[in-house]
Structure 1
């Protein structure tokens, strides 16, 4: 990022005789290629989210993950409610930002850097190109503040005795604290699911990802055709037109996995290999996104950026301390730190915090989170509604979307407080 067009390039432009630095150290063609990488990478990530994972029935998901579903939906919808209120009363009248800025907290914080970068095309199509950089900046701030505040919260919880399964840092070796393996420690990136003389296992796993993406493309094309022949011309409403591919690729991945479980008797998909592909795609996405981040767009909107960032952080902290225990009484602290990390921009942050408070995965937090994603990710936190939120605001205005998200927020909050919160869960913590 420091050597990009926006950082080193801007510095070079103000130094007399140093015009050769105006594009940073990257050639213009490399910069243009990096602009297209995030949309491809996020599609691969979302297409592979549920590949290699057994998809359980609704009853099992609801029983194990219900409290985390209610909490996650409440926080995500709360980010929309707060963001849209800020857009109506401050961002638009004071800073002249479009009402669509009300969706930036959820896109940046709950959606994370992948979603923010992957929606660049949607931002540009809606004439709000600077919004992509603001959203990515919010995601970056969310990740950094999530790690810092998350570690503080974890230490506080351990001192208070809220994390009974916590592993002290003194119990970890120096290499473990750095996240490294020793030279003689075996590391498995996955198993061979096919014989390499026939076809590489990595190729087969990529093939299933491409099938999932293809299914998502068919679904998106079908919805677009439906829009163009029904409500589009009839009511001059265009929503699907601005929806990116990645949430549809996620649904395509779910459909691909279900068909795989039903009709293929061989183990061709390896979840460890899929996880490595996801991790690589995420790393490439983050590097490309930060390299093409428009610092000037953020600097021109620094006050709105700070307002949105402060509101997002405050909302997530308030939800953790005021809501989590009431919605998730069963092992609330372990569940809450995991959800907190995700709501601050990165699932990996939540997993890191959970590793400290529940290193042996003895609580239902991780299983609940995994099942929760099946009900959560296709819709919000980077799902279909996240992708459609700005087109909805652009089409109908902020007030109808505020009313809709406000009603859903109240429903999920009520389910969390008065259904899961009132259940006498065994193992609930005081």
Structure 2
């Protein structure tokens, strides 16, 4: 309650707007307009330029790249506000995950429980191998030349594996930790650049890989019809609220998402006021705001569970969460996140980190490709190419990238690959949460980064051992 009073008081102390012609009345809205223009322009560019269409690069990334180019024009560098773009990226990530968590998922699974667990373990272990490669590279670069912050390589799994939102969150944390040690490091720009490179790596390498397989006759790339016919079931469920309600159905979805996100704010803010000791104060508290997506997922699931219970005991007669509209909200949030995250990159801040950025991104791409290729052959013997492409797209970009690549060879999602991608989220979050805590410890000192490198290596060996256990412990064939 105190925090609400503080927010209300701070709002009351602001100057009263006497004219809507003032910049303050338009600043935030104009930033959203710029994002919308970039997204539309990126979509037009992708549809009209054959090379870009074949590359499978997301329209949102192209839109962000166009805004980056706009910033390079003399006199236009202040049109795209860096701080606003970073804030929008941060909240778009959290709101997108809340919308996904509120969905009533009724998936007819083609995947066994063990396959789902193994896929979740594969996701978490890929974060680890990316962390090993990235951290190992930047530790060496720092030790031999101090060309970059020693812990910055840990932004590789955030940028490749998690996307722009988490790359920004951890990049901002790392900037603060580096500053305390007298090191100048543009963590947000470095992390967002890795995320942008991840989209390009996933799309371009994915297309090259598809073409190689097609030329060898291993696969046949299937065409997907441009127009998809949706039935009424795609738009509403059996007990959905009617369109004739006094409040619009879409408004209900927006209110539910914002309500859950408000709970996230209250929860994290309350923890900030607790006495958690040295570890909690120095490591845990600074990271909690960066876990807005995780807490959003948690509270979204809780709110969904409560609404389901209310329906069972007849306190609620309708199903208020609409899967179709929640999908549209999450899709919008993630598109905005990609555009804003890419547009927030500052070339000026990155000028001294270009070489380390290239080294980290190239090594990360090689390690991710090699590891996922080997694991997919082992875990998905009957659909290894579908499994590999979906996981590679997701773990260099987002789940949408994985689905885009998968659709090229499995347009009707006949293999379990698409199910694996959706259902692995929960085990991946459980296994990935401790990893994120470790990533918060690393930037505190050079020694802490060395310890972190040892810990993530040990965790990777354990998880990889679980994935390849059948191959490692297979029984010897009697002669």
Same fold (TM over 0.5): yes
Number of residues of Structure 1 aligned to a counterpart in Structure 2? 391
Residue aligning to 1:15: none
In the TM superposition, 1:247-262 aligns within 5 A as: 247-262=294-309
Question: Structure 1: how far apart are the matches of 2:116 and 2:218?
Answer: 20
Displacement of 1:8 in angstroms is: 4.9
- Change over 3 Å in CA distance of 1:219–1:378 after alignment to 2: farther
Question: Structure 2: how far apart are the matches of 1:287 and 1:42?
Answer: 12
Q: Is the 8 A contact 1:38 1:285 kept in 2?
A: yes
Residue aligning to 2:250: 202
- Change over 3 Å in CA distance of 1:161–1:63 after alignment to 2: farther
| Structure 2: runs of 5+ lacking an equivalent | 1-63, 313-317
Deviations 1:106-129 (A, max 9, x none): 011001123223545434443476
Q: Is the 8 A contact 1:327 1:420 kept in 2?
A: no
Question: Structure 2: how far apart are the matches of 1:331 and 1:10?
Answer: 45
Displacement of 1:379 in angstroms is: 5.2
- In the superposition, the TM-score normalised over structure 2's length comes to 0.72
Q: Given the alignment, which residue of 411, 416, 426 partners 1:364?
A: 416
User: Does residue 263 of structure 2 align to residue 232 of structure 1?
Assistant: no
Deviations 1:156-212 (A, max 9, x none): 33455655xx5534xx45xx2xxxx49xx6688833634443221112212222233
User: Does residue 468 of structure 2 align to residue 414 of structure 1?
Assistant: no
In the TM superposition, 1:377-388 aligns within 5 A as: 377=429, 380=432, 385-386=435-436, 388=437
Q: Is the 8 A contact 1:116 1:135 kept in 2?
A: yes
Task: Classify the secondary structure of the residue corresponding to 1:50.
Answer: helix
Displacement of 1:87 in angstroms is: 2.1
Question: Which structure has more RCO (C-alpha within 8 Å, separation ≥ 6)?
Answer: 1
Question: Structure 2: how far apart are the matches of 1:257 and 1:125?
Answer: 36
Task: Classify the secondary structure of the residue corresponding to 2:104.
Answer: coil
Q: Given the alignment, which residue of 300, 318, 343 partners 1:291?
A: 343
- In the superposition, the TM-score normalised over structure 1's length comes to 0.80
User: Does residue 355 of structure 2 align to residue 307 of structure 1?
Assistant: no
Question: Structure 2: how far apart are the matches of 1:410 and 1:423?
Answer: 18
| Structure 1: runs of 5+ lacking an equivalent | 13-20, 425-430
Q: Given the alignment, which residue of 128, 132, 150 partners 1:99?
A: 150
Displacement of 1:92 in angstroms is: 4.8
Question: Structure 1: how far apart are the matches of 2:139 and 2:158?
Answer: 18
User: Does residue 389 of structure 2 align to residue 375 of structure 1?
Assistant: no
User: Does residue 241 of structure 2 align to residue 190 of structure 1?
Assistant: no
- Change over 3 Å in CA distance of 1:186–1:62 after alignment to 2: closer
- Change over 3 Å in CA distance of 1:24–1:322 after alignment to 2: same
Task: Classify the secondary structure of the residue corresponding to 1:148.
Answer: helix
Q: Is the 8 A contact 2:102 2:301 kept in 1?
A: yes
User: Does residue 368 of structure 2 align to residue 316 of structure 1?
Assistant: yes
Q: Which of 129-138 and 191-200 deviates more?
A: 191-200
Task: Classify the secondary structure of the residue corresponding to 1:239.
Answer: helix
Residue aligning to 2:77: 23
Deviations 1:360-419 (A, max 9, x none): 211111112211011214653xx6744x45421123611221222112111110110014
User: Does residue 384 of structure 2 align to residue 332 of structure 1?
Assistant: yes
Q: Given the alignment, which residue of 187, 198, 205 partners 1:149?
A: 205
